[in-house]
Amino acid sequence: MLVLFIVTLIVSFVVVRIGAIAFQLTGLEWSLAKFQALSCFSGTGFTTKEAELITSNRQRRKIASVLIILGNAGFVIMIATLAGSLMPTKETILAKLSESLLPFRVPAYLVVWVNLAIIVVVVYGIYRVFTHEKFARRLTNFLRRKIIKKEIFQKVSFEELLLATGGYGISRITVTAGSPVLNKTLAKSQLREQDITVLATVRGSETIPNPPANTKILLGDELVCFGKLEDIRNRVSMNP
């Protein structure tokens, strides 16, 4: 039971990290991606304006759904294995460890407390390992490389810089191969007709503020736009 509990706990940390990376690859800022991944996995369901960034995007909704399902399954397994691990019986792994590691026989009524103490130490140790800055960074980079290599999630560079009243804000989007505005000029992209204003175009190290209407939108360009965030996603992003 103890081994299954530890494995489930470790897998839970890894799943939340993968979820955060997946959200980040869809364009969410890293701290927001981590918070929303943990929220979905734990089932806490924070009702914030930032949560709208998850529910309004098809790809993010899929990621959130998987996290919610795995989170529910993980908590059920951890509760069941935790209860089994605390049973003061000789068949329990922790009870055997208690008997073998101590120079005296632990009374049955104390075994449950010894088991609980060991579980607390194990949980704390795993938490410290996964929250250690260097380890977390290496794990994140490793998982991100694997996810990108296997193309598990579609990478969309999409950063929402401001959330304003009425759903309006400023967004910075990287133009990808499937973008509806690719290889069009700003005039022909019909963004203005959608009440979307391109404030600047970033191309490599060059930033073009207030670009003219004949500016052609190229692959890899970053558009800094103001307008209704949902409309910006639908008109510029490949996966609305």
Q: What is the pLDDT of residue 100?
A: 47
- Global model pTM greater than 0.75: no
Q: What is the pLDDT of residue 17?
A: 93
Q: What is the pLDDT of residue 240?
A: 43
Which helix or strand (DSSP H or E) is residue 140 part of? helix 133-150
Rounded distance between C-alpha atoms, residue 70 and residue 47, angstroms = 21
Low-confidence ranges of the chain (pLDDT < 70): 1-2, 27, 45-50, 83-112, 151-166, 238-240
Q: What is the pLDDT of residue 91?
A: 47
Question: What number of other Cβ atoms are within 10 A of residue 49's Cβ?
Answer: 11
Contact 70, 41 (CB under 8 A): yes
Question: Residues 171-216: pLDDT tens digits?
Answer: 888 888 888 899 999 999 989 888 899 999 988 878 889 999 999 9
Write down the number of H helices and E strands in the chain: 8, 5
φ, ψ (nearest 5 deg) of residue 186: -60, -35
Q: What is the pLDDT of residue 89?
A: 54
Which helix or strand (DSSP H or E) is residue 34 part of? helix 30-42
